[in-house]
Amino acid sequence: MGTVAAFQCRSHADIAKADKVKAIFAEVERLLNAHDPESELNRLASRDNGEILEQCNPKVRPCYEAAFRYRDLSGGVFNPRYRGEGTMDLGGIAKGFALDLAAAEIGECDALLDLGGNLKALGGEWRIGVYGDVKNGMVVLRKGESCSTSGEYFRGKHIKDGRSGRDFSSSAYSVTVIHPDSAMDADALSTILYILGPEKGEGFLSTLGNPAIHTIWLGR
């Protein structure tokens, strides 16, 4: 997925689960890699959305479904077809999906999954560093919670506005979304909110009706 993955655990008994996590991440990448012409994602890209959902590997169908749902909810701000019809790119949601899939398959343990800065706590409490207006730059992730940050401070300009397909510079430097259970939702939402900016972004978030989702903004 073009990034670094990590499995941190506090029990020697859980170390062996790292291999299973690695295998799950590799399978998601094999199926959903937009840069691999042989991937399932590219093989199905020219089909309409309904055909994609019928023909894709059932294991990754929830990722496609969520991408189409967030495209509709955001008015195209999040858009898996931002490169044009006949193309697909799930880069704004697939890492979070891979975290949720790994968490579901290996079960609860005192561990933290990290995929390119997308984080999910499988058990225990984990202090993590976050850019933004938080005390000492630290927040605590508890069992089941996930977070995702979108911004330019590490990779530079890379986030695409789904409405135009072009690189986008937000009025915010970064936004971190902390979700009570879904890393996939946190991943997609951080992209949407970053593009919308603090005011419109918080307005969009309020329409989802989930007060347990929290945000941390870093202004310019």
Q: What is the CATH number of the domain that holds 123?
A: 3.10.520.10
- Per-residue pLDDT of 114-158, as tens digits, reads 999 899 999 999 999 886 655 557 889 999 999 999 877 656 566
pTM, two decimals, is 0.94
Which residues constitute the domain of residue 150?
Answer: 5-219
DSSP lists the bridge partners of residue 147 as 119, 178
Whole-angstrom Cα distance, residue 78 to residue 82? 8
Tell me the residue type at 94: A
DSSP lists the bridge partners of residue 126 as 141
Helices (H), the chain: 17-32, 40-44, 49-55, 61-73, 94-106, 183-207
Total tally of structural domains belonging to the chain: 1
Splitting the chain (220 residues) into consecutive groups of 10 residues, what average pLDDT does each group show? 92 94 97 96 98 98 98 97 95 96 95 95 92 70 95 68 85 91 97 94 96 89
End-to-end alpha carbon distance in the chain: 29
